[in-house]
Amino acid sequence: MAEPKKQRRSRPPSARAVTGRKAPARKEPAGSTGGEGKDGPDRGTGATAGSIIVTGICGRMGRLLARSLHRRMSVIGVDRRPFDDRPKDIVHHRIDPRRKKMRDLFRRGGIRAVVHLGILHDLRASEKDHHSWNVVAFQKLLECLNQYEVPKLVVLSSANVYGPQPDNPQFLTEEAPLLGAQRFRNIRDLVELDMLAQSFFWRHPATETVILRPCHILGAVHNAASNYLRLERPMRLLGFDPMVQVIHERDVVRALELALEPGIRGIFNLSGPGELPLSRCLEFLGRRPVPVPGFVAEGLLDRMWRFRVTSFPPPELDHVRYVCMVDDSRARRMLGYAPQFDLAETLRAVDAEL
């Protein structure tokens, strides 16, 4: 892929200048509930010809994407968890993606795209479980795509694969090295997954492979960024106030939909409506941060994490210490992506009902 000429950013907006003006609301179809069985598919009224498989459909992002797609496309969900409020026209298979039944879905034919959201993000899970779910399962999925010649693959990765570093440039492009696992071992499998997707992109050009790397996703999601901003008294490291980027969960869903368009392939960073200092984010949300020296914060947070007093893991402290922002000019130009939620709406999304 030819690398476009880089575009510079405008000055970051101040949280005080955020007006909170509502962006135009997108209508979301209301689904109805259907029955569900553990050993077989939950079938609705939709046909499977030309279907889109969504792995991890029962997660927050999977549900949002499925509800946005199912009125226009045939959707097949894969997730071991139940989909209690599943719309009738979505087919849901409660299967382990590492098992033979996953291959059977592809053998039937009629699959025109796979959106891979089935990534284990639970940092309390063992390294073995992380590797099995995120790497082994993805390798088996890639084998199916290759064998049955599925024309499109969309993978939701993360800008965290770059890693917050003291010598990071202001904005990282898609060509930046993936150094996220150097100081944060628990995302090593996510970096490996991203690299597997890149390898598949080059080795199998017949499949249009898209890798999306969004900045910190905010909303009714259980990730480190949203969990941190929900805290009434979050830790702040003395002497550090990094610039941060955030993106609304529904803007990520919109980018996933754009990535499904024919002819789209490549790696795309995604950012939200602007950048601002971490202190302004906390001020805007009315939080009361506790300033703590770095060496004290690491030991204290480690003990709190081990005793399950906090949902914010110690290695994530680097995100409140160093910058890790991305240049998403490629996504804006080639995907036609632009955030639909302003900075105020995006920040307030962390307080949405979970």
Over residues 72-117, the pLDDT tens digits come to: 999 999 999 999 889 999 999 999 888 889 999 999 899 999 999 9
Mean pLDDT across the chain: 86
Contact assessment for residue 246 and residue 324, using Cβ atoms and an 8 Å cutoff:
no
How far apart are the C-alpha atoms of 261 and 202, rounded to whole Å?
A: 19
User: pLDDT band at residue 49, thresholds of 50, 70 and 90?
Assistant: very low
Higher pLDDT, 67 or 125: 67
CA distance between the termini of the chain: 40
Domain boundaries, the chain: 31-221+246-274+325-340
How far apart are the C-alpha atoms of 234 and 46, rounded to whole Å?
A: 46
Which one of 48-57, 199-208, 287-296, 302-311 scores highest in mean pLDDT? 199-208
How far apart are the C-alpha atoms of 71 and 54, rounded to whole Å?
A: 15
Enter the tokens of residue 329. Answer: 């000019």
For residue 302, what pLDDT is reported?
85
pLDDT at 41 over 80: no
pLDDT at 13 over 80: no
User: pLDDT band at residue 269, thresholds of 50, 70 and 90?
Assistant: very high
User: pLDDT band at residue 20, thresholds of 50, 70 and 90?
Assistant: very low
| Across 281-293, average pLDDT | 96
| Across 226-254, average pLDDT | 95
| Across 21-50, average pLDDT | 41
State the Cα angle at 13 between 279 and 251, rounded to 5°. Answer: 95
**What percentage of residues in the chain have a pLDDT greater than 70?**
85
pLDDT in tens, 213-238: 999 999 999 888 998 999 999 999 99
User: Domain 31-221+246-274+325-340, what architecture?
Assistant: 3-Layer(aba) Sandwich (3.40)
For residue 354, what pLDDT is reported?
56
How far apart are the C-alpha atoms of 324 and 320, rounded to whole Å?
A: 10
Got the DSSP string for 45-102? S---TTEEEEETTTSHHHHHHHHHHTTTS-EEEE-SS--TT--TTEEEE---TTSHHH
For residue 196, what pLDDT is reported?
97
How far apart are the C-alpha atoms of 203 and 305, rounded to whole Å?
A: 41
Closest listed residue to residue 76, CA positions, set 56, 100, 96 = 56
Q: Residue 107: phi, psi to the nearest 5? A: -60, -30
Contact assessment for residue 71 and residue 29, using Cβ atoms and an 8 Å cutoff:
yes
Q: Look up the pTM and report it.
A: 0.85
pLDDT at 283 over 80: yes
Q: How far is CA 170 from CA 12, 244, 325, 330, in A?
A: 11, 10, 7, 16
How far apart are the C-alpha atoms of 106 and 85, rounded to whole Å?
A: 25
CB neighbours of residue 348 within 10 Å: 18
